[in-house]
Homo-oligomer: A and B are copies of this chain.
């Protein structure tokens, strides 16, 4: 399925929880659309493809949507995550408490030198040698990679061997599965902060260039700086 589609689903779900907390019982496709920035038609189509039932006059029932979306998004199962690499970013994530409201829990950390980790999170931290055992015993499926880029590829391999199927990679390398047995069975998401920042710089620069051009359009000098648009 499409990436954007799934992203919308999670956004719907989060919004619905907030609406429920506010006391909403019913919600309309244009409410949801406005809030997450899509057209009402797309909201309805999304729900339609998922067979999420709405009421022809009274919109959608918040509880029903939440229940079904939770099921679709797998919240009916335990959402346990392990963190590999307990440096600054790894420990920051372990300390971060915002996951709990979404049913996500970081259950363990792993590091090559667990004795050196300054851990104030309460999450147990083990040596890398315990990774395989832990993941298999606890049937963990999702992991965060927060190791230096030089280690990332090795760690990826070990995680896949251990049985991890979903990976969120913070190392500044574009990880992808190049093995024989993973196509289709393992999902990797790369969160490349440098890439995001570069993206922003591009946007900012091009917007500024656009505005300058717009300014210049007012004055008719006749000399076009550029031919094509």
Which residues of A are interface residues toward B (Cβ below 8 A)? 1, 3, 6-7, 9-11, 13-14, 36-37, 72-75, 77, 79, 81, 87-89, 91-93, 95-96, 98-99, 102, 104, 141-142, 144, 149, 165-168, 172, 174, 176, 181, 184-185, 187, 189, 191, 193-208, 211, 226, 228-229
Contact = CB atoms under 8 A, between A and B. Distances in A.
A99 B194 contact: yes
Contact of A198 (B10, B201, B205): B10
A207 B184 contact: yes
20 contacts: A3-B199, A6-B202, A6-B203, A74-B201, A74-B205, A77-B201, A88-B95, A89-B93, A93-B193, A96-B193, A102-B194, A104-B201, A142-B200, A165-B207, A166-B204, A168-B197, A187-B200, A187-B203, A189-B196, A191-B191
A199 B6 contact: yes
B142 A204 contact: yes
User: Taking the full assembly, how many copies of this chain does it contain?
Assistant: 2
Contacts of A9: 202
A149 B98 contact: yes
Contact of A189 (B81, B93, B200, B226): B200
